[in-house]
Each structure stands twice: as C-alpha cells, then as structure tokens.
Amino acid sequence: MALKSSWELALERTGGKSTAKLTDKQKKALAELDRVYTAKIAECELELKPKIARARAADKPEDAEKLEEILRAEIAKLRAKLEEKKEEIRQNKK
C-alpha cells in the first residue's frame, strides 16, 4: 500500500477542488499570526535551550529531559493555538 502525500490527502478531503480564495486582509492577518507565533516559539526556545544545555553540562540528564519535554509541549501548544487562530481567519469571510 503506497503512502499518500499530504497534498493528495488534502485533495481527497476537498473533493479535488481548490480551497476558498483569501482576501488581502486575511492574507495579511495570517502573515502577522505567523510572525507573532514564530517570535513566541523563538522566545520559548531562547528561554529553555540554555537551561537544557546547563542541565546536560551538570550531568543531569533527567532534568534536561524534563526541560526538553516542557519545550516540546510549549511549542506544540503554541502551534496548535496558531492553527486555531488561522482557521478562524480563514473561516471569516469578511
């Protein structure tokens, strides 16, 4: 069984039709969201990556793993929130 690409899966979900066109206002809002959430993710990384490095340098792998899990969870949470907000903008036809 061959694996399908995300593009092929999206085509199946939409029935092969292209998605709705976005207004310039929506495109700008989406770009702004990307900018803001990219900054939030970078901020989170800047806060936690040095702590992870210090934990590794202090030979505390358990602490480093906990911090890495916190980082992954925070990034996942931010990305989910980003997608939620993007979907709100896409659904808003104004």
7 within a domain of the structure (yes/no): no
pTM > 0.75? no
51/7 Cα distance (integer angstroms): 38
4 within a domain of the structure (yes/no): no
- Enclosing domain of residue 74: 21-89
> pLDDT, tens digit, for every residue of 60-84?
999 999 999 999 999 999 999 999 9
Is 51 within 8 Å of 67 (Cβ atoms)?
A: yes
Query: What pLDDT, on the 0 to 100 scale, is given for residue 20?
Result: 67
Is 37 within 8 Å of 82 (Cβ atoms)?
A: yes
The domain total for the chain is 1
6 within a domain of the structure (yes/no): no
58/25 Cα distance (integer angstroms): 50
> pLDDT, tens digit, for every residue of 9-53?
777 777 665 566 889 999 999 999 999 999 999 999 999 999 999
The 8-class DSSP code of residue 82 comes to H
81 within a domain of the structure (yes/no): yes
